[in-house]
Amino acid sequence: MITLHALQYSRATRVLWLLADLGQPCHRVDYQRTETFRAPEDLSKVHPLGKSPVIEDGDRMIAESATILRYLVEKFGDDTHTPPPGTVEFWRHEELLDYVEASFAEVALQAILPAFRGKPVPEAAKAALDTHLAYIAQEIGDGPLLFGDKAMLADIQLSYIVALLVRLDLLAEHTKVAAYWAALREQPGYIAATEAAGPMAPPG
Ligand SMILES: N[C@@H](CCC(=O)N[C@@H](CS)C(=O)NCC(=O)O)C(=O)O
């Protein structure tokens, strides 16, 4: 069975969501956030970066949530969370799956971190975030999700950052992404994961 090192209010919910969709149980090891919202020291004993999620599968240890999601669909032979290989949609999906952590997270955090501390979001950070949210709205298209009405890995990956933006009221002007969030929250895997491990974003 997969062991998941799951930090409270974290990207680990992405992994729980996919495992719920796949009907796969896991051994979840929980870590509470510190008073400064960091990971506790114990996570550094699991992986040198001290971040979550990390999974263990036999003698394999894998960090990086996108890699973990890809690993799990391959391990369990799932073909319902990615478009068919070789299609245009397959590569659009690959791009969006990597985009979340490689490009969007850093931009979103420049707005999320000050908002989280009750400070105003710098204009430049807000402008950059607006550009990315307009791009995401374009990718949602007719929606309700990125590839229609079935959550793909890229949707699961995007959900954590969107949850933080909603929690900090940073989506008010982006109605299409707000509607996307409403659709994500109806997904059975999202419901199962958050019922099991609590919300993605900390309470206000
Ligand atoms: N790119 C990594 C990011 C991992 C990451 O930053 N995780 C956060 C939780 S969402 C963390 O462990 N933060 C605790 C800390 O930095 O102290 C991924 O996608 O898995």
Q: Does 104 score more than 90 pLDDT?
A: yes
Quick check: 93 pLDDT over 90? yes
Summarize pLDDT for 55-78 with one digit per residue, the tens: 999 999 999 999 999 999 999 999
On the question of pLDDT at 204 being above 90, the answer is no
pTM here is: 0.98
Q: Give the residue from 2, 135, 132 showing the smallest Cα distance to 62.
A: 2
CA 54 – ligand 1 centroid, Å: 10
Using the mean position of ligand 1's atoms as its centre, give its distance from the Cα of residue 204 in Å.
20
- Which protein residue's CA is at the shortest distance from atom 11 of ligand 1? 51
Model confidence pLDDT, tens digit, residues 10-38:
999 999 999 999 999 999 999 999 999 99
- Domain 88-188 in CATH 1.20.1050.10? The answer is yes
Report the pLDDT value the prediction gives residue 139, as an integer from 0 to 100.
98
Q: How many whole angstroms separate alpha carbon 48 and alpha carbon 90?
A: 32
CA 165, CA 141: separation in Å to the nearest integer?
20
Question: Looking at this protein, which amino acid is placed at residue 23?
Answer: G
* Model pLDDT, residue 47: 97
Q: Model confidence at 79, in pLDDT bands (50, 70, 90)?
A: very high
The whole-angstrom separation of Cα 192 and Cα 44 is 28
Is CATH 3.40.50.2300 correct for 2-80+190-197? no
Report the nearest-CA residue for atom 5 of ligand 1. 51
Helix (H) or strand (E) holding 29: strand 26-31
Q: Is 78 left (phi over 0), alpha (psi -120 to 50) or beta?
A: beta
Cβ(31)–Cβ(40) below 8 Å: yes
Domain map of the chain by residue range? 2-80+190-197, 88-188
Give strand ranges (E) for 52-107. 54-57, 60-63
Task: Specify whether the CB–CB gap between 143 and 180 falls below 8 A.
Answer: yes
**Mean of all residue pLDDT scores within the chain:** 97
Pocket of ligand 1 (CB under 6 A): 7, 10-11, 38-39, 51-53, 64-65, 101
